[in-house]
Amino acid sequence: MSAAMVCLALAVLTVPSTGPRRRMRDLFIRTDPRKLRYHNILRVVACPALACTLPLGIGVFLAVAMLAGTVGLRRRRAVADRRRAEACVHLLDALEVVIGELRVGAHPSAAADVAARESRGAAARAFAVSAARGKLGGSAADGLRDPHTVIGAELARIADAWRIAEHHGLALAELLTAARADLMGRIRFRARATAALAGARATATVLSTLPLLGLALGQLMGADPLRVLLASAAGRLLLPLGVGLACVGLLWSDGITRKVLV
């Protein structure tokens, strides 16, 4: 069985398709220095650990794979949440610059250009595109829309306010001030909700690790649950089933708490 799993893994890695190769490259190769250390650890530790579980049987391999996938998914979501929070702060700064430039009489395209130079991240790119569109005679509001970025929803609300000002001749500075106040309120609410849900998330994590405590107590009592899970035919089914249920429960609780932050 272990030899079959090795052959299957090699077949997946060598399949002549650009999609899997690109996903594998994106998984193990990162140009961002902040993520380089994490992915080096993943490449050096996690992959050999998964390979070492193959001789122990398909049940152990599936259990370790599900556990590693759950940990990786939760870490990926946490990184995405941090990136979104940073991008929202940059967007607030960019909006403050745009509003200040508009109040002193600058053209909206010029104000967006100044904001693009003084901001960072997705906000800077969005305002740079908006300024370029405005200078070429297009709609600056359409340049702000970028659904592929982490702050796509926030940029869409700013773009809606900008388009209303373009179509109805309203004061753009006033609309952007209201949009900035709305964004600041959403950021504060998200921060308070995250802090309030920290206890629930910690409880879910602790509850998901209770089976490990049960296994340790069983070993101390002489029941030898590890032998049953690792060496018996029933254990090959029960181990991945139990780990899978624990991972599903943990991800389910994460999904419930994340709905509050949307």
Residue extents of the structural domains in the chain: 84-189, 197-262
Does 55 score more than 70 pLDDT? Answer: no
The tens digit of pLDDT for each residue in 94-132 reads 999 999 999 998 888 899 999 999 888 889 999 999 999
Residue 42: the pLDDT is: 52
Residue 53: the pLDDT is: 58
The tens digit of pLDDT for each residue in 177-214 reads 999 999 999 999 988 988 888 888 888 888 888 888 88
**How deeply is 203 buried, as exposed, middle or buried, from its count of CB atoms within 10 A (0-12, 13-18, 19+)?**
exposed
Provide the pLDDT confidence category of residue 236 given band limits of 50, 70 and 90: confident
Does the pTM surpass 0.75? The reply is no
Does 27 score more than 80 pLDDT? Answer: no
Does 234 score more than 50 pLDDT? Answer: yes
CB 122 within 8 Å of CB 150? yes
Tell me the mean pLDDT in the region 52-60.
67
Provide the pLDDT confidence category of residue 65 given band limits of 50, 70 and 90: confident
Tell me the mean pLDDT in the region 87-97.
93
Report the sign of the C-alpha dihedral through residues 194, 199, 204, 206, in that order.
positive
Highest mean pLDDT out of 16-20, 26-30, 47-51, 72-76:
72-76
Query: Considering the chain, what is the average pLDDT of its residues?
Result: 80
Residue 33: the pLDDT is: 44
